[in-house]
Every structure is written in structure tokens, then in C-alpha cells.
Amino acid sequence: MKKTKILIIDDEADLRMLLKSYFENKNCEVMLAETLDEGMVALEVFKPDHIFLDNNLPDGVGWSKAQHILANYPQCQLNLMSGYLVPKTSAMNFRIIEKPLSFAELDLILQIKSSYTWDDDTDFPPSAKINGENNPHLSIK
């Protein structure tokens, strides 16, 4: 059985190692990157199933690469991470994870293989449901 491949791009060493350990215990193959440049190279080489991308990185704004990743790596599920409030936006087709992270949310991310869409393009965060549970970030079609 093919292992799920996860790329973590974050400058916080403790968080990278915690996520790496957590996902490896879930039988995933994990690659780590500390900077945006390292992450973009790793993305090309590793071709992950999931990307966990921090916003504030030492060499740039991680989220600025979201459209590039979505356009060029449609097989990847993009998960944007931030400890800051997320700005209002529309037509988002990725998941936003607020720090501190929840292991339950990480488990859910590994299980979801569907596309993401917002319920309401004019309101952030929209109301959404996954298996009957409220989730402010996405709905599954």
C-alpha cells in the first residue's frame, strides 16, 4: 500500500518535528522544509499528497505560493497554517488551519479525499459541515 506523502513547510523546528512524528506514526512519508525556497524545491521533487504551508517564513510569505501550488499540483491537498487571523477572501479551494493545531483536525485532513468549496463566497469563515459536524473552513461536495 502506498504511503500518504506529506510536505511540511514551516520555520518552527519544534512544530515541524512534532508534525513529522505524528504523521509518521500514521504511516505517512514526511518531508520537511524550513524555508519557502526549500519547500518549493521539495514540492517538485517529493510530489506530496498533502502540503502544510506556514504563512510567515524567513524568506517570504508562504501563502503567496497558494495559487501556484493549486494550479500546478492539483493532486495535492493544500493546508495553509497560521497563528494569525485569516483575512476575508472568496473562492478558496484549500484548507486553513489555525495554530495551535489539533490532532483531531489533522486526522480528518488525512481522511478527506474530496474537493473543497466554500458555502458562501461573501462571508469568511462560512458555515460548513463535515459528517454533520460544524467546521468553519470547508464543505465537502
Residues of the chain with pLDDT under 50: 88, 90-91, 114-141
- Domain of 19, CATH number, reads 3.40.50.2300
Residue 92 has a pLDDT of 54
**Total count of domains within the chain:** 1
Strand runs labelled E in 41-134: 50-54, 56-57, 60-61, 77-82, 95-98, 116-117, 129-130, 133-134
Cis peptide before 87 (omega within 30 of 0): no
d(CA 54, CA 60): 10
Residue 127 has a pLDDT of 33
Residue 47 has a pLDDT of 96
Residue 89 has a pLDDT of 52
The pLDDT tens digits for 101-135 are 888 888 888 887 534 433 434 333 333 333 333 33
Residue 35 is part of which domain span?
Answer: 5-140
Look at the block and give the residue holding cell 460544524: 134
